[in-house]
Structure 1
Amino acid sequence: MPSREGNGVTLKDILILFDRDFGVSIFPNFRGYNNPVDDAEWLLERSMISRGFVIRPIVREGRRGLWIGEYIGSNSVVTRTEEVYGQYASKIHRLMLKCMAKETSKRRLLEELSITSLKRLESKIIRGFKYYICPPSHFYQECREVERIYKLLREKYKDGGRVFYSLVADEILRIIRCEDAVVCPLKAPNTLERIHNLNKALRSRGIGEFRFTEPSFVEIV
């Protein structure tokens, strides 16, 4: 498996860039300078970036882990770095190498590397990361707030039958705990849009829905 030594750590030749505005990019078979910071900054200089982080598989003293480098703004400078190890880091390490060897697809890799999943790592950089606009794939398939809010609303209004949609929209805004995006579909300024966004996510997962029984009323089913 292609790799290179540098400062007591073995660097594997694949990097993944997670950018707040431009999404995720995979760079397999990367040839660099044997220094994770220099390599990441070389890559950032040649990519469309705003703010985010780079991850790379590494091996140190026999332990498989991940090097993580954070960048802020478009100046292509890595401002903070981490090395993370453990069972989940090792799993991501192996999956990235399988992708580089074409033993698994990029799609399979990206499915595993959602921001929600990556926040299981002991990484302050990743846990502090937020998309600017929540990606549709994340909102409709992965966002944990969708199901949590739906359950809370059903519990609160289970005996109420029809409810003013404005009350439901205000309740969504009150209880949401979004940690993944600056612009969240469930924080839309328009109350009706807030409910429609949640409704679309619920329907896409087959969990439930809000039914408009009259122009100003909804029923939670």
Structure 2
Amino acid sequence: MPERKIELKDILILFDRESGISIFPNLRGYDDPVSDVEWVLERNPSSKGFILRPIVCDGRYGLWIGEFTGYGNEVTRHEETYDREASRISRLIMKYSSHEITERKLIEMLSIDALKRRLKSDIIRGFKYYTCPRERFYQSCGEVGRIYRELKGRYGKGRRISYSSIADEIAEMVRCEDVVVCPLKAPNAFERIHNFDRALKSRGIGGIKFVKPGIIEIL
């Protein structure tokens, strides 16, 4: 049986749990996906995350997905996928490579949440940010709206409540498993309330108001 011939495209996208997304176009490597990633990691210090690389095998577009840690710049595991969504994402990356779409558009379409929904990858589904990215927390985090609705349903608007008890409830209500450090689970109760209030106001759906020391209202 002839050996499969995999064509590696000359672009890598690195998702690091601390520094976010980095794109490496025009890569001229070793024609080996693991060696290429480790070469990139040696020159670009990273913490922990994964790499996406478009590949083609027997005319099918797919993705090579590799997991890495910053310790020794090693690829700890990797996988290939050629299903429909992987093919679409692979072709999307190649559109960026050929300047058909902008970097901003590519990054918007390759959010971690979108990748987890679209790809059947244990590597991607196990990925966690260290600190929740600012844009994600203030614009797209589903926990903020859900917790606000539950608190509003429980207490209503305008009721005066101890801020420390609400801060504790917020921390207990968080279900997100996509980050290690969540702004809604900050160690300091005041910081939790402050983060929650800013996230609500950034979306225009409510807020938290201090009416006197230690007492708040849900707006």
Compute the TM-score of the two structures, normalised by the length of structure 2. 0.91
Please tell me whether the aligned partners of residues 22 and 48 of structure 1 are also in contact (alpha carbons under 8 angstroms).
no
* Runs of 4 or more consecutive aligned structure 1 residues displaced over 4 Å after TM superposition: none
Question: Deviations for 1:90-133, whole angstroms, at most 9, x for unmatched residues?
Answer: 23212211111111111111111121211112111111111212
* 2-structure distance, mates of 1:70, 1:7: 23
Q: 1:208 aligns with which of 176, 195, 206?
A: 206
Cα RMSD for the two superposed structures: 1.8
* 1-structure distance, mates of 2:126, 2:141: 16
* 2-structure distance, mates of 1:182, 1:52: 13
The alignment status of 1:14 with 2:6, answered yes or no, reads no
**Would the alpha carbon gap of residues 48 and 7 (structure 1) be closer, same or farther in structure 2, given more than 3 Å must change?**
farther
Superposition deviation, residue 49 in structure 1: 0.9
Q: Percent identity?
A: 58
Please tell me whether the aligned partners of residues 58 and 67 of structure 1 are also in contact (alpha carbons under 8 angstroms).
yes
Unaligned runs of at least 5 residues, structure 2? none
- Supply the AA of the counterpart residue of 1:87: R
The alignment status of 1:50 with 2:47, answered yes or no, reads yes
The alignment status of 1:93 with 2:96, answered yes or no, reads no
- Supply the AA of the counterpart residue of 1:124: D
Q: 1:189 aligns with which of 187, 190, 196?
A: 187
Secondary structure (helix, strand or coil) at the match of 1:119 reads helix
Aligned position for 1:180: 178
Secondary structure (helix, strand or coil) at the match of 1:169 reads helix
Question: Deviations for 1:157-207, whole angstroms, at most 9, x for unmatched residues?
Answer: 127722211121111111101222211111111111101101111111122
Superposition deviation, residue 64 in structure 1: 2.2
Secondary structure (helix, strand or coil) at the match of 1:82 reads strand
**Would the alpha carbon gap of residues 165 and 104 (structure 1) be closer, same or farther in structure 2, given more than 3 Å must change?**
same
Superposition deviation, residue 55 in structure 1: 0.6
Unaligned runs of at least 5 residues, structure 1? 1-5
The alignment status of 1:37 with 2:58, answered yes or no, reads no
* 1-structure distance, mates of 2:21, 2:56: 23
* 1-structure distance, mates of 2:157, 2:191: 25
Q: 2:154 aligns with which of 149, 153, 156?
A: 156
Compute the TM-score of the two structures, normalised by the length of structure 1. 0.90
How many residue pairs get aligned? The number is 216
